[in-house]
Amino acid sequence: MATFYSNDVKRAFEEVEVLSAAQTLTAADSGKVFILDAAAGATITLPALAEGLKFKFVVGANFATSNWVIDSAEGDNINGIISDMGSTVAGVPAVGEDQINFVNSAESIGDWVELVCDYSNSQWLVSGACALNGGITATDPS
């Protein structure tokens, strides 16, 4: 159904979804903001690379038993940098990584990452920020 506004301005709100368990995303989930909200982390698997895909993940509640993991379906294709704003400010580089981890012993509510598909270069571009040193890591466990 079309929505019309008298001032010719259409305001769009991002779709937000709360995650409390493992999930495999699809292209239909692109553009969503996912709030990570569970006592135990889980693995979120990204869909295969496709032009225009974009996902954002935000810590919504502290978790204590395991990491939240954002996992690439293909592996070795997450590149970018995450700002680590802890007592020793640093960048967390991601170079050919498989996973982005929200670390259960160092996460803060509001830590976030965004992944954008760069289809022409077969990669996910990651950016984000965490409040404490080690709150987010980029890894290649295989």
Is pLDDT above 80 for 100?
Answer: yes
Average pLDDT, whole number, for the chain? 92
In a domain, 7, yes or no: no
Domain of residue 101, CATH code: 2.60.120
Contact between 127 and 92 under an 8 Å Cβ cutoff? The reply is: no
Q: What per-residue confidence (pLDDT) applies to 31? A: 96
Give the whole-angstrom CA distance, residue 95 versus residue 39: 29
| 106 band by pLDDT with thresholds 50, 70 and 90 | very high
Amino acid at site 105 = S
Question: How does residue 19 score in pLDDT terms, banded at 50, 70 and 90?
Answer: very high
The answer as to whether 121 is a domain residue is yes
- Closest to 102 in 3D by CA, of 73, 122, 132, 72: 132
Whether 101 maps to a domain, the answer reads yes
In a domain, 47, yes or no: yes
User: 125 in a domain, yes or no?
Assistant: yes
Does pTM top 0.85 for this prediction? yes
Rounded (10°) CA dihedral 17, 120, 91, 40: 30
pLDDT of res. 64: 85
Residue 11 lies in a domain: no
Residue 4, in any domain of the structure: no
107 lies in a domain?
yes
What kind and span of H or E run contains 65? none
Count up the domains in the chain and report the number: 1
- Domain of residue 90 covers 16-139
**Residue 68: what pLDDT?**
98
pLDDT above 70 coverage of the chain, percent: 92
Structure tokens at 136: 């987010």
